[in-house]
Structure 1
Amino acid sequence: MNIASLPETASQTGGPYVHIGLAPQQAGFEIFDNNFGHVLARPGTVGERITIEGQVFDGSGTPMRDVLIEIWQANAAGRYAHPADPQTGKALDDTFRGWGRSGADFDTGLYRFDTIKPGRVAGRSGSLQAPHINLWIVARGINLGLNTRLYFSDEAQANAEDPVLGSIEWEVRRKTLIAQRQQRGAETVYRFDIVVQHHDMAKETVFFEV
């Protein structure tokens, strides 16, 4: 058989089925004893409690309702819950997972994480990075997961010193990585909308090759 003559097998990008394997509880399946969810902090976790929420928009400006987002971040002391983190002088927090997964709401497209505000971590050159959260996004039309970062609007000085933000040439594009702080009674919310594609590059979220 001449393999070159065979038709290519059909492929499909991430879609609704991805929830069955990665967030089955949201899809209505009770498969795992321990579901990975959107709550990263436990009652004893050290740090300022915050909520991260937003929507992911496609090139037409439509909220994507089949999106799955994963985040990972340092704890309040600026240390990651990973043995490869060299910042051994900073305290670990056994009550803080540091990693979460959330699917967007099937009706509204809104995603949410309940976590704590991270501390500053050291960059490759030893300079301090601003407090930030790393995000990975998959959905329909996305062949490879998209990597981006979330920074905080009330950390202007730290943001100005951050080497990653500083590497983005256009200031207007840096703003696409800044989550806006809101206060809802006792709840501190950072709104972070992600624009996968836009004809105006100033409005399209910056993504990174990792």
Structure 2
Amino acid sequence: MKARPMVVRHPETPSQTGGPYVHIGLAPAQAGFDIFENNFGNVLTTAETKGERIRLEGRVLDGSGSVVDDALLEIWQANAAGRYAHPGDTQDKEIDPTFRGFGRTGSDFDTGVYTFETIKPGPTPANDGGVQAPHILMLVFARGINIGLHTRVYFDDEAEANAADPILGGIEWKVRRDTLVARRSERDGEVVYTFDVRLQDTPDGGMETVFFDV
């Protein structure tokens, strides 16, 4: 009778959250470190970029309603024609070489407000052959979060397109869908969309932002 091989069980590696030092590796300039020759930033446009210029801003709030002032956020979006700056997007739509399509920034360490300078994206194809409403993909890192949280930013002045969007339509309750909609305003002649990210339901009645398993 052969002896059964010894099974060596290794303990699970302790999990680590996305902070508080995530800025040093991903946004060192904000943390005061001059590491990279070229840093990703919160400005996705140049003077020649086509489309409606917008500012996307907001705060990340924890379950107590407190502002997370050291969160890190990334966005990824199509250009004004609805095409992504990626070889996997083979649509017969115009490519805008002056638009990067990706941005990264942290919440302001003093105010907790994040900002992106970008353009309003065009509609993009859906997997079912339909059309997705204009939206921005967002990824959030923060202390206490083991993996980045994926969400989407839609626009409140795109009501008709939002109503037909297959992703929004798959969210049962309107109050939950509304957590993905940024509110438009104008400030000093600039178009501003405000989008707060709530990591959990907050005491003031704010509902947790919808996050996606990507």
Does residue 168 (structure 1) correspond to residue 171 (structure 2)? The answer is yes
Partner Cα distance (1:66, 1:202) in 2: 21
Q: Equivalent residue of 1:169, what SS?
A: coil
Q: Equivalent residue of 1:151, what SS?
A: strand
Does residue 43 (structure 1) correspond to residue 47 (structure 2)? The answer is yes
TM-score of the aligned structures, taking structure 1 as reference length: 0.94
- Equivalent residues, number: 207
Does residue 20 (structure 1) correspond to residue 38 (structure 2)? The answer is no
RMSD: 1.7
Aligned ranges 1:81-120 → 2 under 5 Å = 81-87=85-91, 89-120=92-123
CA contact (8 A) 1:173 1:202 kept: no
Unmatched segments (≥5 aa) in structure 1: none
Q: 1:184 aligns with which of 175, 183, 187?
A: 187
Partner Cα distance (1:3, 1:45) in 2: 58
Partner Cα distance (1:80, 1:44) in 2: 17
Percent of aligned pairs with the same amino acid: 63
Partner Cα distance (1:28, 1:119) in 2: 35
Q: 1:61 aligns with which of 50, 53, 65?
A: 65
Q: Which residue of 2 aligns with 1:78?
A: 82
Q: Equivalent residue of 1:31, what SS?
A: coil
Partner Cα distance (2:45, 2:201) in 1: 34
Does residue 121 (structure 1) correspond to residue 117 (structure 2)? The answer is no
Partner Cα distance (2:160, 2:27) in 1: 37
Unmatched segments (≥5 aa) in structure 2: 1-6
Q: 1:68 to 1:199 in 2, by over 3 A?
A: closer
Cα shift readout 1:50-72 (whole Å, capped 9, x = no counterpart) = 00000000111111011000000
Q: 2:38 aligns with which of 13, 27, 34?
A: 34
Aligned partner of 2:170: which letter?
Answer: S
Q: Which has the larger radius of gyration?
A: 2
Q: Which residue of 1 aligns with 2:154?
A: 151
Cα shift readout 1:182-207 (whole Å, capped 9, x = no counterpart) = 10021100000010111689711000
Shift of 1:7: 6.9
